[in-house]
Structure 1
Amino acid sequence: MSTLLTILTILVSLALIAVILLQRSEGGGLGIGGGQGAGSFMTGRGTATFLTRATSILAALFMLFCLLLAVLNKGASGGQNGHDLLAAPPAPSQAAQPSASTPLTPATH
């Protein structure tokens, strides 16, 4: 489920980027609102309205998918395999420290 949502989020984000780049900007940019080229099937105002509506819908879908991914992966970073940078370092294990009953003798060669 998480993989499917990730793929859908990537596709929606690419579509959102494309729709934003197609909009007519103040300086002309990559916009198609000029009546020539790919947007000539609609009037300039109709194209702008369509692109604005498409941007709103794609942005809402993007936010929804991101929230769903966050909820689904809420516990993925915690637990045994998680790495919390702000957590206190783990206490040293007892096996690593010599016990009092074991005498420390120097190694002889």
Structure 2
Amino acid sequence: MQNVILIIHLILALCLIGIVLLQRSEGGGLGMGGGGGVMSGRAAATALGKLTWLFAIAFIVTSITLTILAAARSDSSSVVDRITDQPPAAEEPAPAEPASDDLLPPAPVSNAPVVPQAAE
């Protein structure tokens, strides 16, 4: 059941993308470039506009249906609860001891300026 609705949902998403791309651009953002846009008093009632609304409503309905189905199939516990219920992982072995040369402190570095010696 959930797979069928998911396939319908994906087909509706592709149809919605296609139908929006087929519509005529009105120039500015939010329909500012001409008549019949989002911000105007009267929207254009074209076939593409009606089809866009139909696909959008069907897309929202399938989204809500998938959400309800997923919530019904999920456990009542939280993901955080599942993480804390697991036993701790086995401790990793300690790293090998470094060689005796690695234990010596680094050679001191002098920050004094280098002064050339006069030639005799």
TM bucket normalised to smaller:
0.5 to 0.7
For the structure 1 residues 84 and 23, does the alpha-carbon distance in structure 2 shift closer, same or farther, using more than 3 Å as the test? same
Q: Aligned pair count? A: 73
Mapping 1:44-63, distance limit 5 Å: 49-63=46-60
84, 92, 96: which one pairs with 1:89? 84
- Shift of residue 84, structure 1, vs aligned partner: 1.0
Name the aligned partner's letter for residue 52 of structure 1.
Answer: G
Query: Computing the radius of gyration over CA atoms, which structure comes out larger, 1 or 2?
Result: 2
55, 69, 72: which one pairs with 1:72? 69
Q: Give the match for residue 20 of structure 1.
A: 20
RMSD after superposition:
3.1
Which residues of structure 1 form unaligned runs of 5+? 28-46, 94-109
Identity, % of aligned pairs? 31
Structure 1: which 4+ aligned runs deviate by more than 6 Å? none
The alignment's TM-score, normalised by the length of structure 2, stands at 0.50
Which residues of structure 2 form unaligned runs of 5+? 28-43, 89-120
